[in-house]
């Protein structure tokens, strides 16, 4: 497989609000995989986020759905092209109803911001300069 694709599936309480949130970040959705129970958010040609109503999500897992406002379900990291791009997507997320869960992390060679979406799912937006990374 030359270009593997990743589909991140996350449960959401309000599908329309989640779709609006991700659209405010600049991501479109694929109408071919979107209905009243799910939406396919297109991050790139190979990365997709499936936002699923709780009922739809339960079709794929018998485990209870944790509350991402009080429990860590997962952390999703998404690279950006620059520090400014990290700040721009973080600002868009905050303006769309997200919340910053910790201060920006600046390690010189790496910069990141952690923004929880409207359902509490934490997205780590990050930029890294591999040439400036300290030798191990």
- Residue boundaries of the structural domains of the chain: 1-60, 72-136
Residue 1: per-residue pLDDT: 52
- The backbone torsions φ and ψ at residue 54, rounded to the nearest 5 degrees and listed phi first, read -60, -40
Task: From 22, 14, 7, select the one nearest 115 (Cα to Cα).
Answer: 22
Which residues of the chain register pLDDT less than 50? none
Task: From 132, 106, 102, select the one nearest 114 (Cα to Cα).
Answer: 102
- CATH level 3 topology of 1-60: 2,3-Dihydroxybiphenyl 1,2-Dioxygenase; domain 1 (3.10.180)
- CATH level 3 topology of 72-136: 2,3-Dihydroxybiphenyl 1,2-Dioxygenase; domain 1 (3.10.180)
pLDDT in tens, 19-50: 999 999 999 999 999 999 999 999 999 999 99
Token pair, residue 10, equals 């996350």
Q: What is the value of pTM for the model shown? A: 0.85
Q: Residue ranges of the alpha helices (H) in 9-98? A: 15-24, 54-57, 83-95
Cross-strand partners of 79? 126
């Amino acid at each position: 497989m030359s270009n593997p694709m990743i589909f991140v599936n996350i449960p959401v309480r309000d599908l329309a609000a989640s779709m609006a949130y991700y659209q405010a970040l600049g991501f479109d959705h694929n109408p071919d995989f979107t209905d009243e129970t799910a939406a396919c958010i297109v991050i790139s040609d190979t990365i997709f986020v499936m936002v699923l109503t709780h009922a739809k999500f339960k079709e794929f897992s018998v485990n209870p759905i944790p509350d991402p406002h009080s429990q860590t379900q997962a952390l999703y990291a998404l690279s950006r092209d620059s520090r400014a791009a990290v700040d721009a997507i973080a600002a868009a997320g905050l303006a769309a109803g997200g919340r910053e869960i910790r201060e920006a992390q600046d390690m010189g060679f790496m910069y990141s911001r952690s923004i929880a979406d409207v359902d509490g799912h934490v997205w780590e937006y990050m930029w890294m300069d591999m040439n400036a990374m300290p030798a191990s």
